[in-house]
């Protein structure tokens, strides 16, 4: 697919880790911040617009998306050190590459990024994290772009940040890059941490199936996976969507799942957990687009 060109009717199943979803009316992979700014300024991109990274936290519905999906992965994805001690990473860079770059450059506490199969943009939007670390713990400032194509440098204080939650205090903008601050450490230690983290994840998560990762946010003082398991839902299946036996907060696509199968399974889990525990599970995954029978 050529970059910086708007394509019509693009199958979204090729751009998310569940491998489901309908067509994007318009789809654009952007490789150049200035080109993107120009297209936005000229109002050449049909609205509404959604930015995505690797679609590892997104459920695209079967009826597709009216508007434009803009993907930054592999396009806007530079990473470099900015002396004395900052890393500049663009939104389309994968978190795994960021982690490896930071480790190789001798920074510490960067290993957790290796376990997040998304982009820096997605991690900024989600405040992605694991093993006690979250993306925004390390953000100094970000580069954003607004709907009129203007770029802004925003400080951390300009966002409300919480567990898997990030909202700008003012108007909505999209992330183009971040300046991250890691403490200096030891290259070999950080590289070893990445190796052992990847091993632990392989042991505990169904990584050989198409999945959207943790489906639900952990409610305060609870683990979503434990609640789901206690409701005997491991292995429960609707159509081609199944609650993983390995990790109950993961829903896997067993081969021919539709987005609707996954969404119906999500609703079923929420209803069973509520009935038995009186706790409402909120989705962590973002559900985007129209159902097949929507008009």
Ligand X SMILES: Cc1cc2nc3c(=O)[nH]c(=O)nc-3n(C[C@H](O)[C@H](O)[C@H](O)COP(=O)(O)OP(=O)(O)OC[C@H]3O[C@@H](n4cnc5c(N)ncnc54)[C@H](O)[C@@H]3O)c2cc1C
Which positions are catalytic? 164, 214, 284
Stretch that binds ligand X, among 26-34, 204-212, 223-231, 270-278 (CB under 6 A): 204-212
Asked if 253 is part of the footprint of ligand X (rule: CB under 6 A), the reply reads no
Q: Which of residues 74-93 bind ligand X (CB under 6 A)?
A: 91
Integer Cα distance of 270 and 294 in angstroms: 23
Using the contact rule CB under 6 A, the part of the chain among 190-198, 208-216, 219-227, 238-246 near ligand X is 208-216
- The H-assigned helical ranges of 140-258 are 187-204, 224-230
What distance in Å separates the CA atoms of residue 282 and residue 95, rounded to the nearest whole number? Answer: 25
Select the span of 28-36, 50-58, 149-157, 188-196 touching ligand X (CB under 6 A). Answer: 50-58
129 binds ligand X (CB under 6 A): yes
Decide if residue 231 touches ligand X (CB under 6 A): no
Is position 51 an interface residue for ligand X (rule: CB under 6 A)? yes
State the maximum Cα–Cα separation within the chain, in Å, rounded to a whole number.
56
Which lies closer to ligand X via its Cβ, residue 116 or residue 265? 116
Residue selected from 22, 115, 149, 289 as contacting ligand X according to rule CB under 6 A: 115
Binding mask 167-196 for ligand X (x = CB under 6 A): -------xx---------------------
Exposed (0-12), middle (13-18) or buried (19+): which is 196, by Cβ within 10 Å?
exposed
- Select from 132, 126, 138, 148 the least CA-distant residue to 54: 126
Query: Taking the C-alpha atoms of 64, 68, 74 and 75 in order, what is their torsion angle to the nearest 10 degrees?
Result: 170
Q: Among residues 83 and 132, whose Cβ is nearest to ligand X?
A: 132
**What are the residues whose beta carbons fall under 8 Å from the beta carbon of 248, sequence distance 6 or more?**
224, 225, 226, 228, 229, 233, 234
Q: Are 182 and 108 in contact (CB under 8 A)?
A: yes
Q: Does 257 bind ligand X (CB under 6 A)?
A: no
The site for ligand X (CB under 6 A) is made up of 17, 50-58, 72, 91, 115-119, 121-123, 125-126, 128-130, 174-175, 205, 207, 211-213, 286
């Amino acid at each position: 697919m050529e970059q910086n060109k708007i394509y019509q009717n693009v199958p979204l199943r090729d751009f998310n880790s569940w491998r489901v979803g309908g067509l994007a009316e318009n789809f654009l992979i952007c490789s150049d911040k200035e080109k993107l700014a120009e297209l936005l300024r000229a109002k050449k991109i049909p609205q509404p617009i959604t930015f995505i990274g690797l679609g590892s936290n997104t459920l695209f519905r079967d009826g597709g998306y009216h508007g434009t999906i803009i993907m930054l992965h592999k396009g806007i994805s530079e990473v470099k050190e900015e002396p004395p001690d900052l890393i500049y990473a663009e939104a389309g860079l994968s978190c795994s590459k960021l982690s490896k770059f930071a480790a190789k450059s001798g920074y510490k506490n960067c290993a957790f990024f290796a376990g997040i199969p998304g982009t820096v943009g997605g991690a900024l939007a989600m405040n992605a994290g694991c093993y006690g670390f979250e993306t925004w713990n390390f953000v100094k400032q970000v580069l954003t772009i607004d709907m009129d194509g203007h770029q802004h440098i925003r400080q951390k204080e300009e966002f409300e940040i919480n567990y898997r939650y990030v909202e700008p205090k003012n108007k909505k903008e999209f992330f183009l890059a971040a300046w991250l601050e890691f403490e200096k450490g030891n290259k070999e230690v950080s590289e070893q941490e990445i190796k052992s983290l990847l091993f632990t994840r392989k042991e505990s998560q169904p990584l050989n199936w198409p999945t959207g990762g943790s489906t639900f946010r952990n409610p305060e003082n609870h683990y979503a996976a434990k609640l789901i398991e206690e409701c005997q839902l491991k292995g429960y299946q609707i159509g081609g969507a199944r609650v993983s036996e390995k990790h109950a907060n993961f829903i896997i696509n067993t081969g021919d799942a539709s987005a609707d199968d996954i969404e119906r399974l999500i609703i079923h889990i929420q209803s069973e957990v509520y009935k038995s525990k009186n706790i409402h599970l909120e989705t962590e995954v973002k559900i985007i687009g129209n159902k097949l029978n929507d008009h």
